[in-house]
Amino acid sequence: MSGHDSKYFSTTKKGEIPELKEELNSQYKDKRKDAVKKVIAAMTVGKDVSSLFTDVVNCMQTENLELKKLVYLYLINYAKSQPDLAILAVNTFVKDSQDPNPLIRALAVRTMGCIRVDKITEYLCDPLQKCLKDDDPYVRKTAAICVAKLFDINAELVEDRGFLEALKDLISDNNPMVVANAVAALAEIQENSTSPIFEINSTTLTKLLTALNECTEWGQVFILDALSRYKAADPREAENIVERVTPRLQHANCAVVLSAVKMILQQMELITSTDVIRNLCKKMAPPLVTLLSAEPEIQYVALRNINLIVQKRPTILAHEIKVFFCKYNDPIYVKMEKLEIMIKLASDRNIDQVLLEFKEYATEVDVDFVRKAVRAIGRCAIKLERAAERCISVLLELIKIKVNYVVQEAIIVIKDIFRRYPNTYESIIATLCESLDTLDEPEAKASMIWIIGEYAERIDNADELLESFLESFPEEPAQVQLQLLTATVKLFLKKPTEGPQQMIQIVLNNATVETDNPDLRDRAYIYWRLLSTDPEAAKDVVLAEKPVITDDSNQLEPSLLDELLANISTLSSVYHKPPEAFVTRLKTTVQKTEDEDFAEGSEAGYSSGNPVDSAASPPTTTGNIHPAGRQPAPAPAVPAPVPDLLGDLMGLDNAAIVPVDEPTTPSGPPLPVVVPAAAGQGLQISAQLTRKDGQVFYSMLFENNSQAVLDGFMIQFNKNTFGLAAAGPLQIQPLHPGTSARTLLPMVLFQNMSAGPPSSLLQVAVKNNQQPVWYFTDKIILHALFGEDGRMERGAFLETWRSLPDSNEVLKEFPGITITSVESTIELLTAFNMFFIAKRKNGNQDVIYLSAKVPRDVPFLIELTAMVGQPGLKCAVKTPTPEIAPFFFEAVELLFKA
């Protein structure tokens, strides 16, 4: 529409639909065109004009390109709601796809691709095949994108009709824009497919590099992104590719520059010459610096990408730290990102400049930015040992300013500096103690209390200082309470005089009797028992030498960093998260399970290696496992019309939450008893982790054998290896004597993580209004965490097995387990999301291969070896996290003994 078309959006009269109908059927072309514009205007502002479908479609028979575009726009919007009527337009589409005007041919194919109606899709194939071989490049490039849209609608149709081969042929096209669109379409199809579709070889590589110099900026982005996934055969080829791509660094479009940087970084991994790498680093610095002169939004994206680049190749911008100094008019999000990069680029050579900047920032008006600047000084001190003293001096100067939030942030970072350089800078403690009265933030209070406890022997009035905090102990946040408890114990162990003795009694009493925080209470009980049984052992535990800390607060794992660098110039590099963390892709090709024996040649990929003695598993909970039933293949999720707020916040499938009043009829074996009636004053609790409809639940049965009505049930889970926590409150109605109630409690993962080595123990606390808190220990049953997406293709299974080192393979034998048949074993394991891959014979033994996956995409590759009907099962599991393999063996034992 032109700039004069705003009149069509003006309010129309009462009978607008009949009027529009009349105008659409007018004999005058101009009147019909105006009527269609009015219809599009009404559609744009949300009015329902679907009743005019037939009348608008009649206007398709026109030579006027503008009118045709408007009608096509209407069709795209309403074809889904009127699929039967949309068929009326097919003949016109087919006719337009053979029009002498290439613009009309391209428009027809593009529109048919956008109309996601199955009946029309069938008619699209013939015109699309012709347009892929059209004489005009504009039509060919439009048809290339249409193939990707068609693949999204019907993947099998695209493969059967040979469109993928036609797309690959277009990579050899003499028009660079056709090549770019073919690459874009193939890349999109590859992302949505499990089988290899778009693989670049040396011939394709040459064609893409040739097209790169001639196509438009967005075409260059598509080609560069595709090239970044190509692994060069040797360092010489990598150098040649980089040489051809380097000119793109001078491009005016930021996206082209970032895509070129991504591609060069990927190929640099293969280049061995230090001179070549040094020159490339020099060449990449100016374009990255230039990105910082753009508007703030682009600056931010560039900074997030630079943040990743300097973690991998800090030399690229080592001499450019001044460009990251904050300007007074920078938005706060840009300033924060610049601070992060300055910390990463800080070195002994430039630390004086950096500290001057940080000191200046610490006097700004934006409180968040000031805090970040003060913390940055502390991180530089931890990172650079030679500069630590200068950083301390700057922090002390800032403390003297007496600005509350600056002082508190300074104390937090000085605590970390003390951890990094023990027995070096303790002379400043007296200055810190002067600011004690101004502390009101939990983290600052906790840091100051830690300093007092850690250096109690050097602070004359340490007991008085801690006593001032004890007065408000019950009201303090958990973080402060935990530090107060530990600091008081340290003080008592270092100065076992009367004052600290009274303090420790008050603190331990408060922390065990007056609190409902399990972390605080458990720690207090441990200290209490240590102090009462063996004070020397208490000293060894509480006053033990602490490991030296490093500044890794924002360093990414090497594998994650490599993945993010492979996704530079995408949202992934802005979020600093892998794509699968925020994008859900549904693979369109169906994975098939084949029940064929392995070929002899593949046997080498499954060599067991040297047996590894697995750690002895702790005793399992009594009781049997309750099968969850075989899970169907994942299907596209249908959004709920009105999402439940609680479920939405927790990230839960609303349909998976069992209502309180829904009768639950337990099927299969009973749940294991975790609190017997004798120990629970008449209350018996049975519980076990289970999985239902893709969601983890804690299945619980409460039986009231007491004489009182029990109500107000609550539950809490201690920190554990998988961070399991309740997704909501425990929904149990008042329990009358002699009655029972069963519930499925939805669980969330990775919200309650414990430090230290993995453990399959799940510590739980349950309380009600009439009884004390009941504590019990349950087991984390690993197969309850196995996801429905754990099925792997055979090739992927082999490749993953080979890629994992032999040290990641853990073996265990179960002499008491007998397999009655291979088929029933596969069926049993499939019911718990352990998916069959293949089987083979090894002498008179059967070997079965399966795959599973726990959250955060950690695969489990499983090899079971047994002789049918004979006792003895050998289980080998290979996984990136072999420390949790014993959990798997516990699960296997439970399943086969059930």
Nearest alpha-carbon partner for 448 in 408, 490, 479, 419:
408
Q: Does 642 or 798 have the greater pLDDT score?
A: 798
The average pLDDT across 535-546 equals 85
In DSSP terms, 86 is beta-bridged to none
Residue type (1 letter), 830:
T
Residues 236-262 have pLDDT tens digits of 888 999 899 999 898 888 899 999 999
SS (H, E, C) 120-182: HHHHHHHHHHHHHCCCCHHHHHHHHHHHHHHHHHCHHHHHHCCHHHHHHHHCCCCCHHHHHHH
CB 300 within 8 A of CB 600: no
Number of Cα atoms under 13 Å in the Cβ half of residue 91: 5
As annotated, the residues of the chain forming the CATH 1.25.10.10 domain(s) are 5-245
pLDDT for the residue 649: 28
Please provide residue 847's backbone torsions phi and psi, each rounded to the nearest 5 degrees. -115, 125
In DSSP terms, 479 is beta-bridged to none
% of the chain residues with pLDDT over 70? 88
Q: How far apart are CA 817 and CA 26, in angstroms?
A: 83
Q: How confident is the model at residue 828 (pLDDT cuts 50, 70, 90)?
A: confident
Lowest mean pLDDT among 320-324, 490-494, 840-844: 840-844
Token pair, residue 697, equals 């639940």
pLDDT for the residue 618: 37
DSSP of 68-84, one letter per residue?
Answer: HHHHHHHHHHHTTT-HH
Token pair, residue 644, equals 């439940």
The average pLDDT across 133-144 equals 91
Helix (H, G, I), strand (E, B) or coil at 259: helix
Q: How far apart are CA 468 and CA 450, in angstroms?
A: 14
Q: Residue written as tokens 């960093």?
A: 561
In DSSP terms, 725 is beta-bridged to 748
Q: How far apart are CA 892 and CA 364, in angstroms?
A: 60
CATH architecture for segment(s) 5-245: Alpha Horseshoe (1.25)
As annotated, the residues of the chain forming the CATH 3.30.310.10 domain(s) are 794-897
Residues 355-368 have pLDDT tens digits of 999 999 998 888 99
Nearest alpha-carbon partner for 82 in 54, 55, 47:
54
Is residue 333 pLDDT above 90, yes or no? Answer: yes
CB 389 within 8 A of CB 402: no
Q: What are the angstrom distances between the C-alpha of 319 and each of 287, 315, 352, 651, 856?
A: 14, 8, 14, 45, 38
Is residue 498 pLDDT above 80, yes or no? Answer: no
CATH architecture for segment(s) 643-780: Sandwich (2.60)
Q: How far apart are CA 791 and CA 213, in angstroms?
A: 42
The average pLDDT across 736-764 equals 87
Question: Mean pLDDT score of the chain, rounded to an integer?
Answer: 82
Is residue 573 pLDDT above 60, yes or no? Answer: yes
Neighbours of 793 (CB within 10 A): 16
Lowest mean pLDDT among 361-365, 524-528, 634-638: 634-638
The average pLDDT across 396-425 equals 88
Pairing of strands 740-748, 845-854: unpaired
pLDDT for the residue 588: 43
pLDDT for the residue 653: 38
As annotated, the residues of the chain forming the CATH 2.60.40.1150 domain(s) are 643-780
Instruction: Choose from 4-8, 189-193, 726-730 the range with maximum mean pLDDT.
Output: 726-730
CATH no. for 794-897: 3.30.310.10
